[in-house]
Amino acid sequence: MSEVLDQNEIDALLASVQSEVGGQAATATAAAAAPRPPRPEPQAYDFKRPERVSKDQIRAIASIHEVFARNFGASLSGVLRTIIDVRVVGVEQLTYHEFIHSLPNPTCFAILQAPPLEGQMCLELSPLIVYPLIDRLLGGPSNTANVYIPQRPLTSIEWQVVHRILERALTNLSGVWHNLVEAQFRVLDTETNPHLVHIVAPTEVVVFITFEIRLGQSAGTMCLCIPFNTIESILSRLTSQSWFYKPKPPSDVQRQRVERNLLRTAVGLTAFLGRTRIRLSELRGLRPGDVIPLEKRTSQDLLVQVRGRNKFAGQAGQLRGQRAIRVVRSAAPDEPL
């Protein structure tokens, strides 16, 4: 038989139930009175321009091409013998139709390939900077303020000059992409009317990288268009944690080229017979045939300097009817003349 509760037990049970119900009601009242966190505002999404590349990947692409801009600017500066400033202006994703219609016509437009990456890419150079670069490469002055910008397609000779600029750009581009993929960028074709080039569908998403090139008082843009399907296979490597730039070590061919160019460099070499001190009145009275005694003895070595620095010591003589000096030893840096 079940146990029968007495009155005291019934009263204690009712009291515990009432206290529990009261605590739940107080908790619910406090929760209702607490301020609710603000709801996030809805953001518009354009289905015509889907963002298929994340912001982290966009930042990684920007970092890669900032290194390219510095290297390309230094390379152009060496060729043109003047300061060339190249910097990244922006990186965004848009449709190929929007990219093509944002370009001038005519312009300098190159279609690129970068095996093993699939598909094709585009590189556009604004006429505002192409003609000043051509003028400078053909011997024009560094002041490019008065360079005429014609509204016409480039001639065959101008295209030959522009190809030199494109080759340097693609060499530096292949170098900075080395850590992502062993891609070798090359020019597949050139065009002056970008509306005639259809490398992908008009609605396809592309990554659009804009550079500013400044030469003296002239400035223009360079645009690199990379379709999404071209870099889709390497997007997983474009993260801030896994990507960092390491300069590619020079190859044996590059070392030999540098060494060969250094060996062809001409330097000034001077041999000093000796020195002495005379009065200004004696200097004014010197005539042909006068003898000037030097502080150096004939048995002492003559000092040979290369570009003003002590390099060798030797003995004076004659070779095939010409004055000569035979190197006998290396000279100390502080050895007196």
Residue 296 sits in the same domain as residue 165:
no
The token pair at 89 is: 């202006």
* Domain of residue 98, residue span: 55-260
pLDDT at residue 148, rounded to an integer: 80
Q: Is residue 246 part of a domain?
A: yes
Omega prior to 194 cis, within 30 of 0 = no
Length, in residues, of the chain: 337
Residues 245 and 279 in one domain: no
Q: Tell me, yes or no, whether 90 and 68 share the same domain.
A: yes
Same domain as 202, residue 102: yes
Beta carbons of 239 and 91 less than 8 angstroms apart: no
Res 72: pLDDT: 92
Other residues' Cβ atoms within 10 Å of the Cβ of residue 54: 12
Note whether residue 41 is domain-resident: no
User: In this structure, is the dihedral angle defined by the CA atoms of residues 125, 126, 130 and 132, taken in order, positive or negative?
Assistant: negative
Q: Does 18 reside within a domain? A: no
pLDDT value at position 241? 46
For residue 322, what are the CA distances in angstroms to 195, 316, 317, 318, 325?
70, 11, 9, 5, 10
Residue-level pLDDT at 1: 44
Token pair for residue 124?
A: 């556009």
Asked whether the beta carbons of 121 and 110 are under 8 A apart, the reply is no
**Structural domain total, the chain:** 2
Cα–Cα nearest to 99, from 196, 228, 194? 194
Do 281 and 245 belong to one domain? no
If asked whether residues 281 and 167 sit together in one domain, one would say: no
The pLDDT value recorded for residue 251 is 78
* Same domain (yes/no): 164, 207: yes
What CATH number is associated with residue 102? 3.40.1550.10
Q: Please name the residues in contact with 44: beta carbons below 8 A apart, sequence gap of 6 or more.
A: none
So what's the pLDDT on residue 248?
64
**Same domain for 96 and 150?**
yes
In a domain, residue 131? The reply is yes
Identify whether residues 230 and 294 lie together within a single domain: no
CA atoms lying within 13 Å on the CB side of residue 132: 22
230: enclosing H helix or E strand = helix 228-231
CATH number at residue 313: 2.30.330.10
Residue 47 lies in a domain: no
Residues 203 and 306 in one domain: no
Are 108 and 139 contained in the same domain? yes
Q: Residue 5 is which amino acid?
A: L
Whether the link from the prior residue into 247 is cis, omega within 30° of 0, is no
Burial class (CB in 10 A: 0-12, 13-18, 19+), 221: middle
Query: Residue 35 falls within a domain, yes or no?
Result: no
- Identify the pLDDT of residue 209: 94
In a 13 Å sphere around the CA of 38, the CA atoms on its Cβ side amount to: 3
In 3D space, the residue among 116, 115, 101, 110 whose CA is nearest the CA of residue 192 turns out to be 110
Residue 186 has a pLDDT of 92
Q: Distances in Å between the alpha carbon of 288 and those of 282, 285, 291, 292? A: 13, 10, 9, 11
Q: In this structure, are residues 184 and 115 in contact, taking their beta carbons and an 8 Å threshold? A: yes
Residue 234 lies in a domain: yes
Tell whether the torsion through CA atoms of 17, 23, 28 and 33 is positive or negative: positive
On whether both 185 and 69 belong to a single domain, the answer is yes
Distance (Å, rounded) from C-alpha 122 to C-alpha 100?
10
> What's the pLDDT score for residue 167?
92
Q: Which two tokens stand for residue 334?
A: 């502080």
Query: pLDDT below 70 — which residues of the chain?
Result: 1-7, 10, 17-37, 43-51, 142-145, 239-248
